[in-house]
Amino acid sequence: MSSRLFALPILALTACATVAPPPKNVRLMTVNEPPRSAEAPASKATHAPTLIRNGTVLTAAGQVFENGHVLLVDGRIAEVGQGAGTAPAGALVLDAKGGFVTPGLIDTHSHVGVYAWPGTIGSADGNEMTNPSTPHVRSESGFWPQDPAIWRALAGGVTTIQVLPGSGNVIGGRSFVAHLKPEGSARAMRYPGAPEGMKMACGENPKRHYGGLNREPASRMGVVATLRTALQKALEYRRAQQKWQRDLELWRAKHTAEEGKPPPPTAKPDGSPDDPPEGPPRDFGMETLAGVLDGKILVHHHCYRADEMHQVLDVAREYGYQVRSFHHAVEAYKLADRLAAEGTAVSTWVDWWGFKMESLDGIPQNVALVQRAGGRPILHSDSATEMRRLNQEASKARAAGVRFGLQASDDEVLRWVTANPAWALGIDGDVGTLEKGKRADVVVWNGSPFSVYTLAQQVLVDGAVVYDRAGHDVPISDFELGLVDGKDLP
């Protein structure tokens, strides 16, 4: 996202002409719901089992069931297969009516909640542009869980997003993965067990902002130097932490009494107390970058040009970490073989190009060429509006590849917005495909998800229906309370 702030003074709502209380079947956000742990899977669902039948089931795992079913029990997928399936006693049965069933869509690049609607300066919390390196900040701290864009994303079949800081800084801070269920806080919306990410950025955004302030970085040289300097400080911080841990273990061993012997003295020969060694002062930014070096925090790097991606990969190799995904990456096709070999995913658009110099050489075949090289292409949004049509973006990317002679099956195309982004976020063992045991994040569409005429009919998160187009059972923000008639929600 650009470091500029886009102010929209008025939120355009289709239902502004009719002021009515929300319908009775609209479930409202409450602020006193118990939080879900960020470290452990959510507790078992308390709602009834759900059976989805009579649709074409696209699993994104290599199997397609043309008249299939999906059974959801306790928030997990209990069964996927051919035929109508058998509904357990008391189960909710959803009739796909000849439509399609897919995993929930996943967006690796979103600023929803940190650049919340209606897009005023007061709701712009995604860029801490006071220093080119701010690894200590976290997008979770600026996330507004009642952003009206969240519920529109659900209407587009999106169930999981990565909320990133903006790209105004070389090192922008920690991201977090949000599960789109109604909760009262960012922490409660964390996807259970998902690793955090680190947002970094190349190129024009940081150099334009800080160059305008006559500060480093004012050039691409300065951007790379800023990155390397921060990583070197983190390396030294980690070494200091490791030395302290070693010294502390030695001190503990020295002061541990052996069996049958008195404890060792707690004073030095000169009489001074033999206190445990003190560690270096805690530094939240260096702690975060040390997590990057250890592979515990996944790197998502905003980078357009091929030459800059090469440089970032070289720096990553120098410091021993992996770039999990390049974002935007409109020139990824120029180094697709290296990206595949490095195991770095590509989160990109189909046809966003030309809006600044570094985006000038994008081509719509980018995704298909990354796929051909054996890489992991992903369609991301960077837009609360684009996010609602990720399925159509995947279809456009396939069409562009076909014109280039590059074919892709429905299963492969679906993976561009489900399984591949799940991998990039480190949650592919839990979500992204319709397989037994995985989390029950499912979308029922009224037609092929690759058609511009298709709409999501029901969206389920952890096996619970959180969006129902026919029943308008969608949470709405307090911001819209009393302003939106539920019949006019998207």
pLDDT digits (tens, 9 = 90+) for 107-151: 999 999 999 988 889 989 999 999 999 999 999 999 999 999 998
pLDDT digits (tens, 9 = 90+) for 263-317: 666 666 776 777 888 888 999 999 999 999 999 999 999 999 999 999 999 999 9
pTM, whole model, 2 decimals? Answer: 0.87
pLDDT digits (tens, 9 = 90+) for 214-269: 999 999 999 999 999 999 999 999 999 999 999 988 888 887 766 666 666 666 67
DSSP symbol at 190: B
Q: Identify the helix (H) or strand (E) that includes residue 76.
A: strand 76-82
pLDDT at position 193:
93
pLDDT at position 304:
97
pLDDT at position 31:
30
Give the C-alpha separation, 82 to 71, whole Å: 11
Residue-range domains of the chain with CATH: 104-256+281-433 (3.20.20.140)
Q: Tokens for 424, please give them.
A: 């990039």
Tell me the mean pLDDT in the region 164-187. 95
Tell me the mean pLDDT in the region 325-353. 97
pLDDT at position 40:
39
pLDDT band at residue 37, thresholds of 50, 70 and 90?
Answer: very low
Average pLDDT, the chain: 87
Give the C-alpha separation, 339 to 106, whole Å: 21
SS3 of the chain: helix, strand, coil, percent, to 5: 30, 20, 50
pLDDT band at residue 472, thresholds of 50, 70 and 90?
Answer: low
pLDDT band at residue 406, thresholds of 50, 70 and 90?
Answer: very high
Residues 344-357 as b or e (16 or more Cβ within 10 Å = b)? bbbbbbbebbeeee
pLDDT band at residue 21, thresholds of 50, 70 and 90?
Answer: very low
pLDDT at position 263:
63
Q: Identify the helix (H) or strand (E) that includes residue 471.
A: none
**Res. 1: pLDDT tops 50:** no
Residues of the chain above pLDDT 70, percent: 85
Tell me the mean pLDDT in the region 10-38. 32
Give the C-alpha separation, 177 to 426, whole Å: 10
